[in-house]
């Protein structure tokens, strides 16, 4: 019998339209799902097999929930997932961690790879700033925790996958969203999607301004993005551009006395020079997805990033810029060589040039030059993945081989330094069993790495540390997921155990000296579950409730540093317990949403002598949809965040240093009770 392939559109009144591809000799499961929140799958849908059949954890958040966030706060999205913790010290100071990986990164997200479709957004030092992006540009956000995302780098922290919408034929959509909130916050977000035949273009513009909760806390972010998709028979050609222009003040962290008594003040030294950062960043990419027939697919992506920044700090001024170029290519085959084997293989190459200078800070003005460095970073990786189905079992083997090198040239002393890291070999083995019911059990073991970030890669004099090593670890995971009560109740349970060695620890010699060391080993284990229940009492009254819980037990096994023995201490920055409970009621065109977050107290230094207290947050919002005319709709939403007016630290500085007679500054104060109102207008032709 001949095999037929083609495009299929599924639509029904009251439900979201879905475009997909079909293969006539394979079953296609079609089911109804209310699109008002989060749904969890298993692993990246690299192959045809449904995502919830592949081994490993996998969480997906859909656009409908992303668009509900005020001021584009990605932290509000990420913190709904078990095992994921995103701290926000300010709109321009964020740190995303998964299962404790990345919690030592001082001011940004590292040790987690971020991709837009098949395009890497992480820079050459392993850092990502997803908070700069307009979240409304994406159709879905998918997260893998741990090193199981082998085709995407095997990072110990996992993967954040940002997926853009598919082209929908002959549709024109436009949306305007404007929000006003406490602390002088204003957000406008405009989107236009033009689609005709096999071509589609999506344009996005977003502006975010805030006076800030604290002193020296103003924030300006202007973002433009464009996405073009062209279908060519069964293949597609895509182009992406994103430009960010940011100008933001930096209040920095506070010591315990100021945090408890004057949380709205800025750190004295940062306020004294009106510390701030300004940067422009442009990301360009093109990709081609080619259908080679016989169930074979070829992908090629070319990408680049240009970055130019200036940061005024009390101890010096950092003037830096970078240019990154890369290529990613892959080939995948279903029923490889006529068997039940699915096969994927590919490679990714990245080269980044980074120039940085530091200058004296003279009362907020630029003084004499202190340093002038030029760095090159190279990352080359090859990956493969095999998935074999036998009976009710799916077996997966994957391998990622990665080579990383850093090189630095000191223009002042005319000296060079470098670190050519050892070859990293990262295997993964996974198994999934598909029960006769809609239940899947899985088990996986995977190896992963973390590369040193900028501060961790340096010597105190600013050169590259030739002795710093990659952070390496093994992760074991066991879990089960399924639907019960005719699909109204979904659950996902998982247990993980990760052993990390050559742990990377950032240090500060003097206030203007950053460097890193490899220090000991860590055992990280925990339990996570997510339960989601959906029901409808009438044709017009719906409810959805989701509960996410994480238990973490992360501790040092063997860690001695500067004469201190920290073995058996808890790893700082990792809350033992975290809870997120969300419920939403929809009645006709109105909705009520309530969200509760609990974060347990946790240590913020290696000695476990200083703790961040536990806290709980309650958020509430109500909304009303209004039909304007034809297919045009409007919606107004009013919300209160931190309804209980909890005093808490929304971000901490792990192992904060102290200089002179000053107390260490561990704490970034969280927002007090605050309000927002959002107006949204949608047009569909």
**Tokens representing 273?**
């020079």
- The torsion defined by the Cα of 100, 105, 107 and 109, in degrees rounded to 10, comes to -60
Nearest to 603 by CA among 518, 551, 666: 666
Residue 440: CB atoms within 10 A of its CB come to: 22
**Residue length, the chain?**
685
**pLDDT tens digits for 519-545?**
789 999 999 999 998 888 777 888 889
Q: Cβ atoms within 10 A of the Cβ of 460, count?
A: 14
C-alpha distance from residue 19 to each of 30, 31, 226, 290, 501 (Å) = 12, 14, 21, 18, 45
Q: d(Cα 399, Cα 66) in Å, to the nearest integer?
A: 33
| SS3 state at 569 | coil
Secondary structure, 3-state, 377-422: EEEEEEEEEEEEEECCEEEEEEEEEEEEEEEEEECCCCEEEEEECC
pLDDT over 90 at 57, yes or no: no
Burial annotation 262-279 (CB, 10 A radius, 16+ → b, else e): ebebbbebbbebbbbbeb
Higher pLDDT, residue 390 or 69: 390
Q: Cα dihedral angle (99, 104, 108, 112), rounded to 10 degrees?
A: -40
More confident residue, 19 or 203: 203
Give the N- to C-terminal CA distance of the chain in Å, as an integer.
41
Residue 52 φ then ψ, to 5°: -80, 10
Nearest to 134 by CA among 109, 164, 107, 160: 164
Nearest to 653 by CA among 104, 94, 110, 275: 104
Residue 19 has pLDDT above 80, yes or no: no
- The rounded radius of gyration (Å) of the Cα atoms in the chain is 25
User: Strand locations in 42-171, DSSP E?
Assistant: 58-62, 84-90, 93-98, 109-110, 113-116, 119-120, 127-128, 140-144, 159-163
Write the DSSP assignment of 303-347 as a string of letters. EEEEEEEEEE-SS-EEEEEEEEEEEEEEEEESSGGGSSEEEEEEE
> Which tens digits make up the pLDDT trace of 287-313?
998 887 777 889 999 999 999 999 999
Which residues lie closer than 8 Å to 654 by C-beta, 6 or more apart?
103, 104, 106, 572, 573, 604, 605
Query: Rounded distance, CA 114 to CA 468, Å?
Result: 24
Q: What is the average pLDDT score of the chain?
A: 85
Cα 528 to its chain centre, rounded Å, is 18
Q: From CA 168, how far away is CA 165, in angstroms rounded?
A: 9
The tokens describing 40, both together, are: 């969890």
Interval 353-377: pLDDT, tens: 999 999 999 988 899 999 999 999 9
pLDDT tens digit sequence for 656-677: 887 778 899 999 999 999 999 9
β-strands 113-116, 159-163 pairing: parallel
Q: What percent of the chain shows pLDDT beyond 90?
A: 54
Q: What is the 3-state secondary structure (H, E, C) of 251-306?
A: CCCECHHHHHHCCCCCCHHHHHCCCEEEEEEEEEEEEEEEEEECCEEEEEEEEEEE
CA distance 331 to 347: 10
Q: Rounded to 5 degrees, what are φ and ψ at 156?
A: -60, -30
Any idea which fold 5-645+661-684 has? Maltoporin; Chain A (2.40.170)
pLDDT at res. 22? 52
DSSP 210: E
Give 147-157 pLDDT, tens digit per residue: 988 888 899 99
Bridge partners (DSSP) listed for residue 246 = 221, 279
Q: What is the pLDDT, as a whole number, of residue 333?
A: 86
Average pLDDT rounded to a whole number, residues 466-477: 92
CA distances 191 to 36, 137, 165, 263, 668, Å, are: 20, 8, 13, 37, 33
Here the tokens at position 594 are 């309530």
Q: Which of 162-176, 269-283, 466-480 has the lowest mean pLDDT?
A: 162-176
Is pTM beyond 0.85? Reply is: yes
Residue 593 confidence (pLDDT): 92
Backbone angles phi, psi at 336, to 5 degrees: -60, 125
- Map residue 502 onto helix, strand or coil: coil
């Amino acid at each position: 019998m001949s095999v037929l392939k083609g495009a299929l559109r599924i639509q029904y009144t009251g439900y979201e339209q879905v475009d997909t591809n079909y293969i006539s000799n394979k079953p296609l499961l079609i089911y109804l799902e209310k699109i008002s929140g989060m749904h969890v799958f298993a692993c990246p849908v690299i192959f045809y097999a449904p995502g919830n059949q592949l081994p490993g954890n996998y969480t997906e958040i859909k656009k409908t929930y992303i668009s509900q966030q005020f001021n584009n706060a990605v932290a509000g999205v990420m913190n709904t997932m078990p095992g994921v913790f995103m701290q926000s010290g300010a709109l321009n100071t964020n740190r995303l961690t998964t299962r404790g990986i990345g919690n030592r990164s001082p001011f940004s997200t590292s040790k987690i790879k971020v991709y837009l479709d098949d395009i890497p957004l992480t820079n050459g030092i392993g850092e990502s700033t997803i908070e700069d992006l307009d979240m409304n540009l994406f159709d879905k956000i998918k997260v893998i925790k741990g090193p199981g995302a082998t085709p995407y780098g095997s990072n110990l922290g996992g993967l954040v996958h940002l997926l853009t919408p598919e082209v929908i034929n002959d549709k024109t959509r436009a949306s305007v969203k404007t929000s006003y909130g406490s602390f002088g916050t204003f957000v406008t977000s405009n989107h236009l999607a033009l689609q005709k035949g096999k071509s589609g273009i999506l344009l996005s513009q977003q502006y975010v301004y805030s006076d800030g909760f604290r002193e020296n806390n103003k924030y300006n972010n202007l973002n433009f993005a464009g996405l073009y998709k062209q279908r060519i028979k069964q293949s597609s050609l895509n182009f992406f551009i994103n430009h960010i222009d940011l100008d933001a003040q930096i209040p920095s962290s506070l010591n315990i006395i100021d945090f408890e008594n004057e949380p709205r003040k800025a750190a004295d030294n940062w306020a004294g020079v009106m510390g701030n950062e300004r940067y422009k960043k442009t990301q360009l990419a093109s990709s081609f997805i080619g259908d080679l027939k016989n169930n074979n697919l070829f992908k090629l992506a070319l990408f680049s990033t240009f970055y130019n920044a200036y940061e005024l700090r009390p101890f010096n001024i950092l003037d830096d810029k970078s240019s990154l170029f890369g290529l990613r290519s892959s080939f995948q085959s279903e029923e490889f060589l006529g068997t039940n084997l699915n096969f994927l293989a590919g490679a990714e190459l990245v080269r980044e040039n980074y120039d940085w200078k530091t200058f004296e800070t003279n009362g907020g003005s630029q003084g004499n030059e202190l340093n002038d460095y030029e760095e090159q970073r190279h990352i080359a990786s090859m990956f493969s993945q095999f998935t074999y189905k036998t009976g009710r079992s799916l077996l997966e083997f994957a391998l990622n081989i990665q080579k990383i090198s850093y090189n630095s040239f000191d223009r002042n002393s005319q000296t060079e330094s470098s670190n050519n890291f050892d070859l990293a070999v990262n295997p993964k083995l996974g198994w999934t069993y598909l029960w006769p019911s809609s239940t899947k059990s899985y088990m996986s073991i995977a190896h992963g790495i973390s590369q040193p970030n900028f501060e961790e890669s340096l010597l105190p004099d600013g050169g590259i540390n030739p002795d710093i090593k990659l952070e390496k670890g093994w992760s074991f995971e066991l879990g089960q997921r399924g639907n019960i009560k005719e699909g109204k109740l979904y659950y996902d349970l998982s247990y993980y155990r990760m052993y990390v060695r050559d742990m990377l620890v950032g240090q500060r010699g003097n206030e203007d000296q950053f460097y890193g060391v490899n220090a000991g080993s860590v055992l990280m284990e925990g339990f996570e579950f997510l339960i989601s229940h959906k029901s409808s009492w009438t044709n017009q009254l719906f409810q959805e409730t989701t509960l996410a819980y994480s238990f973490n037990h992360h501790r040092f096994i063997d860690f001695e540093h500067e004469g201190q023995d920290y073995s058996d201490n808890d790893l700082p920055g990792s809350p033992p317990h975290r809870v997120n409970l969300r419920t939403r009621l929809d009645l006709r065109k109105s909705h009520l949403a309530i969200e509760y977050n609990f974060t347990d107290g946790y240590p913020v230094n290696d000695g476990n002598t200083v703790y961040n207290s536990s806290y709980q947050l309650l958020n509430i919002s109500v909304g009303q949809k209004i039909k304007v005319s034809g297919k045009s709709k409007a919606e107004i939403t009013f919300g209160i965040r931190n309804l209980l007016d909890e005093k808490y630290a929304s971000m901490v500085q792990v192992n904060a240093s102290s200089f002179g007679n000053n107390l260490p500054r561990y704490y970034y104060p969280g927002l007090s009770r605050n309000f927002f109102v959002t107006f949204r207008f949608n047009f569909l032709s």
